[in-house]
Every structure is written in C-alpha cells, then in structure tokens.
Structure 1
Amino acid sequence: MRWTAILWLCLALPWPGIPAAAAEGLTPRVRALHVRAGPGTEHPVVDLAVRGDRLDPRERRDGWLLVRNARTRRIGWVRARYLRPLPPPSPPRQSPSTAQSGSQPTGTGRKGTRKAPGLPPRAASRALRPAPAVPESRPHGPPGSFIPLLTLRLHMEPLDAAVLMRKEADDTSTFPARVRLEDGTTARARIAVLGSSSRHVRKRSLLLYLEPGHRWHGQRRIALDGLGTDPSLVREWLAWHLFAALGVPGPRVHYVRLFINGRYQGLYLFTEWVDAELLARRGLASGGRLYQPRDATYCGDLRPPFDARRLQHCWHLPDGKAAREALARLGRSLAAARVETFDAFLATHFHPETVLDWLAVNVLLDDGDTYNKNYFLYREPAGRWAVIPWDYDLSFGRNWDPYLPYPRNLFNDRFQYYYPPESGAANPLKEKTLRNPRLRDWIFRRLRHLLGLHREPGAPAYGWFTPAAMQRRLDRLEHTLRRAALADPRLGLTAARWHEALEAIADFTARRRAYLREILDGATPWDPDRATWDPAQAPPPPPLPHHLHRKGRAGPGEEETLLTAPGWGLVVAGLALTEGEAPAPVSAELDAGPPAAVPPGQDPEACIRRTWFVTATAPRRTVRARLSFEYLEENAHRHEKGSRVKEPGLRLWAFDGVRWQPMPTRVNTLSNVLRTLGPVRLAPQHMLRFVACSGKTP
C-alpha cells in the first residue's frame, strides 16, 4: 500500500523537462500526432492523437514521452517537442433554449448521431463522414473511349484507416482489413504503405496481402499506385500499355476506385505483382529466381565489385548462396564481354528482346530513372536471363533536379525532351548494347517503327508514339477518368490543372518524336561511344547554343509543324496554318539570353530569356498560322525564366519593326510551351520578333 501511494505521488509531480502544467495533461501542438509502441520512429504506430486530446505523461526517454490518451485509452510514445500544456476548459455557453431544456446527452449530436468526444469537429467527423458521390464506371464520351475502372472496397477500424493515410515515410507497420472480393464475399488482409520516395507525398501507394486461399482479380498481393507523384495520372498506364503492345513480359495495370469504410479514397493504379508466377504466365520459364535492385542504394547497375557484401547492399536477392553467385557470374561475364561480339553474348545469356525493347522504350519515353534501380532481372532454371521493366513515373518529360533537396528533387515541375539515348546511370548492359552496331541498329529500327517513320514487317505497335495516336489515347483516358480523378480527396486536382498535365504529355510526344527523328536521320549527331551522361548528377551538361535557326514548310491542320534546329534537335518554333491554306515555306530563329528589347512598361526580369523570330519566306504570299514557342526549365540552375516571371501570366508580344502588339496567349507551365490563341499574320519576307513577359498589359 505504501509503495502504491509513492508511485501515485511520483506521477502527480511535474516531470523534468515537462512544463509544470503537464500535471493537468498535455495535448499535441499539431493537428495529429503519431503514438508509437516505443521511443523511436522505427516502432509501429499504435494510436493517433489529435489536437485537444488529453495525454497524461508516464515516462520520458531521449526526447520521447510515454503517454496515455484519455480519449482512446491507449498508451504509447510521442515526441515531447510536439506537445504543449492542455489549456483549461472553457466554461460552457448556453443558448436560451439549452438553458430551458437542459444540455444534450454526451456522445450524441443533432438527431442523435454519434460524436467522437475530445476531437475537433473536422477530425471527429473524418472517420464517420459519408462517402462523396463518385460515378460508377459506365462508358461515356465518344465511341471507343471507355477504359474499365475496377472498384475495391475495404473495411478497417476507423482509427486504423485514419493512421494509414498519415503514416510517416519510414513507418512499415501494417493494419488488418477486410476486402470485398468479386463474388461479394470478403477476405481478411493486411494493408501497408508501399513505395520509397512516393511515401513523401500526401497520397500514399498501398499494398494489401490477402489471406491464403483468396485472390482479388487473380492477385493475392494487391499493389495500388497512389499516382501522387504524377499530375497527369497516366504516365505509368501509358508505359505499361506500350510494353504490353510490344509483348514484353511484365505486369498489366488497371485503374481502381478505392473505398475504405464506404468512403471514397481516390483513384489508384492496380499493378500486378511481379513474381515468378506472373512471369511464367507471360511466357518465361517457370521456377526461376527474381532479382531487384534496392531503390534506396542506387547501385544495382551490374558493375563490379561482385562480392557478397555489395550484392546484399545493392540488390534484393533470392534466398541461397547459389542465387547470389549466379548474379555475380552474370556481372563478371558482362564486364568481360566485348562490344564487337555483344550481340552473340546477349543471345546466349539473355532473352535479347527483353533487353532491346526495354532500352528502346526507355529511349522513347526519356526515362533515365533506371539502370541502377527500377527494373528486375529474372533468371530461368536453364540459366537465361530476362529484363523486366519497372516504375515509369519519371518519364514523358518529368525530370530529376539534382539541385533541389529530397524529395523536391523528384517531385517538381521540371521538363525536358532532349536527353540523348544513353542518358541515365552507367550500366554495362545498356552501354555495350548501344555501342554494338547490330544491336543499335535493331533498337533504331524499333524506334522508327514506334514513331511511325518506317514499318517493320511483323512488328507490333506501329505508330504508337505519333502525336495523333497519343492524343486519341489521352482523350480516352480523360473521358474515362475525369469524374473519378477530380473527386479524388487527396490529389486536389482541378479540371484546368489536370488538362494542362495531359497536354504536357502530348507536347512531350510531339517534341521527343521530332528530337529522335533528327538523331535517326543523322541530322543531329549522336556518339554511342561517349561516356554515359546521368542527368541526375551535377555538374550540369554543356550549355545550349545561343542561336538556333531552321527553315521548313508549315502545313495546315490541327497537328503543328515543329521546326527543329539541325545539329541539336531542339524545337525553334511550331506553326499550324489555318484550314485551307497550302503548305508554305517559313523560317524561324531564336536567340537565347535576356531580350535585347522588351515592350514598353514590361520589366525585363519578368520576361523569358529568349527571343523568337518568324518569317514567311515565300515571295508575295501572306501566311496565317497559329504559333507556339517553348522556353527552358530543366532544373534549378538551367532555365530561362527571369527572376520575376510569373508563369501563369506569361503573354507573347510581337514586334513588326514599328510597334509592339500583345498576343492572346495560352501557356502550359508544365511543358513550358506558349501558344497564340488565334492565327498570326506573317507578311511575305517580313520578320516578326516575339518575346514573352508576365507584366501587366498597359
């Protein structure tokens, strides 16, 4: 009895380092605070404390407090710096009607609905809020536009569901859930946050493990990409459908609307789990072993050394010493293989089409976020290897910025289309394939086929990467996903912003196609023997030219003619003649650097550091055309924006030699493309000068 009294006396005294008011209880300084099983972020989350909860301290250790949450009655550890003394309760305010009839019973609200005591109104209703209206997946839009949407319904404890979407990036804990299967029955599952860098965005990717004996759409492991790193929501879908069209072994993907406890959680991309069973269904020999580079170490590049310690550090390896030694033998064989005979090496050790199509698609989509991670190797029992692609959110122009801190270096609005075919991390499999003349010729034939430049007999997906085909694909996706995407509670998309992101995909397609065509035709030199250039590493590549010039013929119609500079492959200007006009010769130039002259009243620092010049070169013929120009924003050190540029307010100005004229302009701030809203009159042999500024029009 005496020891019990001493214990209660100790708990009642103020704790060292804790405000004296803590004897009356503490509460989070922030809206919500994780409560963990131990004093450290490596321990799983066991509770969620919200602002206003009373937390009674029990113990202090290394900046953490053991507390008891009076609302949930759970005990766990929280960071002490996120706590403050609980303010004294305010005296109740009674309305006249309350004073006459008495207060409402505790725990009920209007019409007797349940309330969570101690929670702020917004947090209290979050777990009990009804689901927003989300459309069923019915066909709508033009014929052929429908892409099926799956629906996945889960049931979880409300607190677990709230914690799941707020877990810290390094939290690997799981929660129980029940999954509704296709036949209407339910199965038990565990759910966790999936991914590496994507854990830092507001909308997390998720992974469900169904109990043995149950599957959802053929899968026991359900991987749901939250699409929180891609404002267009379509990059991964497009990449996987291209691989499927080429017959490359790999996962199939489907869009999914996720509901937890009846509440709509948003649009996800369901990606089949990559394992030996899946790859056997895709035509590879069953019973093989799967190897995956570790995403966080950036060293799964098949380069030496191949000792056990480095292999364990760089790869997720199958169990057993023999599996590790097989990868080491492959690495040593790659290092010893000669470029001149690498086509024979590839045919002996690999399924060569898996390597060649992987490289061709990476070149096409400008995906350099691989070669040291973001792919799998599959070894069949007979010893042949296959490459399995993975992770294409940093493609279609999205760019890593090495000058920004993590994770902003990944999640930004940087854009480019002009990285050469060898860009990306060093990897002997990539480098020796591109340097071997026969293998390089195969990849270039495949690229011409996909770009719609020359058909390969018997090859699939001809013209897959043309602007017209891509636009039709984007229209289908926009019609199908629009309502579910805009209702997503965590993405916060607006219709205008999403349309801009989809248009950036189309802009990339047209410009990447023009750039690669210059390389394939030999107009822009490319040396496969030069050292691999990794755009993720500083210092920056050599500077771009200060002056570019291109003559060409502009044609009518919706698809604009892009004038690319010989030797560089960069777009100088885009023109689309008005309907009914015959093709016309034109000339376009650009000067990089601060404009030599700007319109009256415009701040030079609010202007793009480029000047464009366009001329109709046919004598005695006036041309009317819609124009487009682009500016550079590759990374924080390599861009052409003045220090006071406000991108949404950019407007083109035209100077005819006498006066400046503002042009109605539409700007895509993701692809950095400026477009005139109407046709511009180009007089014969008369040059127009253009600049872009974001100052107010006088």
Structure 2
Amino acid sequence: MGATEKLPEYRLFIHPLDLNELRKDIWIDEPVSAKLTINGKKFEVDIAYRGSHIRDFPKKSYQISLYKPATYRNANVFHLNAEFKDPSLVRNKLSFDFFNDIGCLAPEARFVFLKVNGRNEGVYLELESVDEQFLTNRQLPSGSIFYAVDGDANFSLMSDLDNEVKKSLTIGYEQKCGTQEDIDHLHQMIIDINTIPRDNFDKEIVNYIHVDNYLRWLAGVVFTQNFDGFVHNYALYRNKESGLYEIIPWDYDATWGRDVNGEEMESDYLRITGFNTLTARILDCKTFRNEYKSLLTDIMSHQFTVDYLKPKIERMHATLRPYVLLDPYKKDSIDLFDNEPDYICTYIEERSAFIKREIELLN
C-alpha cells in the first residue's frame, strides 16, 4: 500500500423501508435488498448485519451477498467490517497479512470507504468470506469448512462455556460447506483427539491434522495475542485430497496489544502454549514441541520484528488517515488513531521479549 493510495468508494443504496426493516431488530439475520455501486459499476445485493456483540455498536458491520452480477473480485459473498473498537483500524488486516506471511491460510482483506444512502459511514475492512470460493481462489482442493462460532469449538469432550460434558461433540461449529459424512468425521476426530493414548498420539494425529499448518496457526495466534483464538475465531477446512484439517484465522481485531473493548492488553497476558485440548496434546509430543520452538524462533527473526512490520503499519496508517477524518464514528478520536502505530510497535517489542523468555521453558 502506498501512502497516497486512494480507498475504493462503496456506495450502498437501501430503500428507506428496507433500511427501517434492517434496523428494527439488529439480531435478525434476514437480509434486505440493496444496490451497491463500486467505481461506477452497479450490483444488486442482499445485505445483513454480521457479528455477535458488534451488532450493538453504532457503526454496523455487514455481510454482502451478490446476485446481479453474481460475483465481484472472484467472490459472491464478502464482509464489511466496521473495526469499531480498534482505535488503529488496522489490526484485523495486519493480522491476516501476518498469517499469510508465516505460511498460514488467511482471508484477503482491504480497506474501503463506505457511504450508505449518500451518508458517510466511514472506513471499513472488506473481508473475504471463507467458503468454497475461498478455496477456488487459491486453487485448493474442495473440502468441508466449519466455522468455530463459540467457546465449545475447543477440541474437547467438555464444554468451554459451562464445564459440562458436551451434548454433541460438533457443538460450537457451524458447517459452511460439506456433507453429513463430514460432520461425522469431525465428531470422530474430536473423540480421537481426546482418547488416543499418549504414546501413539504423534503417530495418529497426523492422519487428521496438517500439523505444520496447525503449528503456524498457533504461532500466529500467540504472536498477535488473540485471547479468543484457541476456541473461537477460526475456521476448519478439511482438504479432500489429503484428508487433513487445516485451520484458518477469523476476527482478529482484538490483537496487537488491545482487547475486544479496545483497551490495553498486557504483552505477557497470553501464554505461548495456548488453551485448547488439541494444542495441549500436540505440544505434549516432543517432536512437535521442538518444531514449534524452531518456528517461533524463526518468525521472531523475520516476520515478527519492528523492522519488518513498522513500514506496513505506517503505510496503512498514512493511507487511512484522510478517510478517518471523514469517518463520523472515528474522526473525533484522531489523536488516538495517530498514536497507534507507535503503540503497536511497542507491543511487538514487548511481546517478542516475552516469547523469547517463554521458549526456554518449552522443554
């Protein structure tokens, strides 16, 4: 991104009656029809609010489904995220770019400026949907995709929400694509994650999990310090050719030193060994643990450094700044926005120092 880059302008027109319908109950997922204009090209779309707690924010996030024409930028569904609680607006994109840089699948993301019925709604992050088209765009084999929608997606027999035995082992997941057979396979995998004997775990888990991908994802969660990332905020993709699951990050605005409310999160808050059952069992295997240690060390030498990340952060900041001044929800906190690049760089330094100390304890 160049410092003088202009953001694409997205113009949404929603009929006032439909807009009233959308606003009547923010918790309903039923979309309304709208017209979207991008660079003079018109699209007929369905629009709905997206997210859980973020629907309560004054600046809404949206899911856009295209039906005439049916695709835009090789997608028929995409998301417009308000990034309302992130004072920098860049954490989600910075995270997904970082995951890509360390060799992990992640959605593409780019900033746009949104107008709704002629009114400035401000800076948004356009996020690629993790679906069949996501796989096609990367020339990946077809396969099942499950979204981890709550804390029960913890790879355990026990609920992370109430510490009771789960009524269903696939609770916590929402199937995006696939068959009943794929649901049954996920169910069996969770049983085996919890019951394979310790002596055989490293030999058998590789029949389910692409371990190198999992360790790279784990490192990404740990470096960005996404506290919810181990039991939420991810998608599972099972590659039909290899038969193995890969894991894809999602919703990474509460990262890089700030929590879900945009408040400071200490750089040593999140331990490097994670919180879910699968991570614990993988890191219990000496071979995988050593791979993880080497991976953390390598990333700290290359992608997770101020020298590497600061230019990216500053480019995004410079590109967004004139648009933040036009954002009715963000313009009054421009001073906080201007302090964020330094804040994030300080976090990188402090988090790196913490991880270096903790690696020594991974024996």
Q: What TM-score comes out, normalization by structure 1 length?
A: 0.48
Q: Secondary structure at the match of 1:430?
A: helix
Instruction: Work out which of the residue numbers 176, 189, 192 in structure 1 matches 2:45.
Output: 189
2:193 corresponding residue in structure 1: 334
2:240 corresponding residue in structure 1: 381
Q: Secondary structure at the match of 2:168?
A: helix
Matches of 1:437 and 1:161, distance apart in 2:
56
Asked if 1:417 is matched to 2:260, the reply is no
Cα deviation 1:538-596 (Å, max 9, x = unaligned): xxxxxxxxxxxxxxxxxxxxxxxxxxxxxxxxxxxxxxxxxxxxxxxxxxxxxxxxxxx
Contact 2:82 2:124 in 1 (8 A): yes
Q: Which amino acid in the other structure matches residue 272 of structure 2?
A: P
Alignment of 1:599-610 (within 5 A): none
Cα distance change of structure 1 residues 262 and 302 upon mapping to structure 2, 3 Å threshold:
same
Contact 1:339 1:433 in 2 (8 A): no
Matches of 2:244 and 2:356, distance apart in 1:
34
Cα distance change of structure 1 residues 361 and 396 upon mapping to structure 2, 3 Å threshold:
same
Alignment of 1:561-572 (within 5 A): none
Cα deviation 1:174-200 (Å, max 9, x = unaligned): 221112255x34221111111112112
Cα deviation 1:346-391 (Å, max 9, x = unaligned): 4332222221110011111122212222111112334322111111
Shift of residue 302 of structure 1?
A: 1.7
Q: Which amino acid in the other structure matches residue 430 of structure 1?
A: T
Q: Which amino acid in the other structure matches residue 282 of structure 1?
A: R
Cα distance change of structure 1 residues 496 and 448 upon mapping to structure 2, 3 Å threshold:
same
Shift of residue 416 of structure 1?
A: 0.8
Contact 2:158 2:166 in 1 (8 A): no
Asked if 1:247 is matched to 2:103, the reply is yes
Shift of residue 154 of structure 1?
A: 1.8
Alignment of 1:22-37 (within 5 A): none
Asked if 1:293 is matched to 2:148, the reply is yes
Q: Which amino acid in the other structure matches residue 368 of structure 1?
A: F
Q: Which amino acid in the other structure matches residue 300 of structure 2?
A: L
Instruction: Work out which of the residue numbers 289, 302, 313 in structure 2 matches 1:474.
Output: 313
Contact 1:147 1:477 in 2 (8 A): no
Asked if 1:431 is matched to 2:286, the reply is no
2:31 corresponding residue in structure 1: 174
Alignment of 1:448-463 (within 5 A): 448-452=297-301, 463=302
Q: Which amino acid in the other structure matches residue 258 of structure 1?
A: L
Cα deviation 1:488-517 (Å, max 9, x = unaligned): 112344321112233321221110011112
Matches of 1:412 and 1:423, distance apart in 2:
22
2:173 corresponding residue in structure 1: 315
Q: Which structure features the higher share of strand residues?
A: 1
Matches of 2:24 and 2:69, distance apart in 1:
29
1:509 corresponding residue in structure 2: 348
Q: Secondary structure at the match of 1:223?
A: strand
When the two structures are aligned, how many residues end up with a matched partner?
355
1:495 corresponding residue in structure 2: 334
2:112 corresponding residue in structure 1: 256
Q: Secondary structure at the match of 2:226?
A: coil
Matches of 2:322 and 2:197, distance apart in 1:
54
Matches of 1:283 and 1:350, distance apart in 2:
20
Q: Which piece of structure 1 moves more, 209-218 or 167-176?
A: 167-176
2:94 corresponding residue in structure 1: 238
1:200 corresponding residue in structure 2: 56
Q: Secondary structure at the match of 2:344?
A: helix
Contact 1:222 1:271 in 2 (8 A): yes
Matches of 2:5 and 2:191, distance apart in 1:
45
Cα distance change of structure 1 residues 320 and 478 upon mapping to structure 2, 3 Å threshold:
closer
2:292 corresponding residue in structure 1: 443
Q: Which structure features the higher share of helix residues?
A: 2
Cα distance change of structure 1 residues 469 and 353 upon mapping to structure 2, 3 Å threshold:
same
Asked if 1:152 is matched to 2:5, the reply is no
Contact 2:78 2:129 in 1 (8 A): yes
Q: Secondary structure at the match of 1:417?
A: coil
Alignment of 1:134-153 (within 5 A): 144-145=2-3, 149-153=7-11
Cα distance change of structure 1 residues 312 and 480 upon mapping to structure 2, 3 Å threshold:
same
Asked if 1:325 is matched to 2:175, the reply is no
Shift of residue 260 of structure 1?
A: 2.1
Instruction: Work out which of the residue numbers 303, 320, 329 in structure 1 matches 2:156.
Output: 303
Structure 1 stretches lacking a partner, 5+ long: 1-138, 400-409, 453-462, 528-698
1:99 corresponding residue in structure 2: none
2:137 corresponding residue in structure 1: 281
Matches of 1:173 and 1:222, distance apart in 2:
16
Matches of 1:169 and 1:468, distance apart in 2:
42
Q: Which amino acid in the other structure matches residue 303 of structure 2?
A: W
2:162 corresponding residue in structure 1: none
1:351 corresponding residue in structure 2: 210
Q: Secondary structure at the match of 1:215?
A: coil
1:368 corresponding residue in structure 2: 227
Contact 1:374 1:391 in 2 (8 A): yes
Q: What TM-score comes out, normalization by structure 2 length?
A: 0.88
Matches of 2:3 and 2:200, distance apart in 1:
47
Matches of 2:318 and 2:349, distance apart in 1:
22
Matches of 1:428 and 1:369, distance apart in 2:
14
Q: Which amino acid in the other structure matches residue 27 of structure 2?
A: D
Contact 1:355 1:387 in 2 (8 A): yes
Shift of residue 151 of structure 1?
A: 2.1
Q: Which amino acid in the other structure matches residue 389 of structure 1?
A: P
Matches of 1:162 and 1:231, distance apart in 2:
29
Q: Which amino acid in the other structure matches residue 180 of structure 1?
A: T
Q: Secondary structure at the match of 2:235?
A: strand
Contact 1:203 1:491 in 2 (8 A): no
Structure 2 stretches lacking a partner, 5+ long: 160-164
Cα distance change of structure 1 residues 466 and 488 upon mapping to structure 2, 3 Å threshold:
same
Matches of 1:217 and 1:481, distance apart in 2:
22
Matches of 1:268 and 1:162, distance apart in 2:
22
Asked if 1:484 is matched to 2:323, the reply is yes
Larger radius of gyration: 1
Q: Which amino acid in the other structure matches residue 146 of structure 2?
A: Y
Shift of residue 162 of structure 1?
A: 6.5
Q: Secondary structure at the match of 1:265?
A: strand
Matches of 2:96 and 2:282, distance apart in 1:
23
Shift of residue 146 of structure 1?
A: 5.1
Matches of 1:475 and 1:319, distance apart in 2:
41
Shift of residue 273 of structure 1?
A: 0.8
Contact 2:226 2:254 in 1 (8 A): yes
Cα deviation 1:136-161 (Å, max 9, x = unaligned): xxx8xxxx545562221222224544
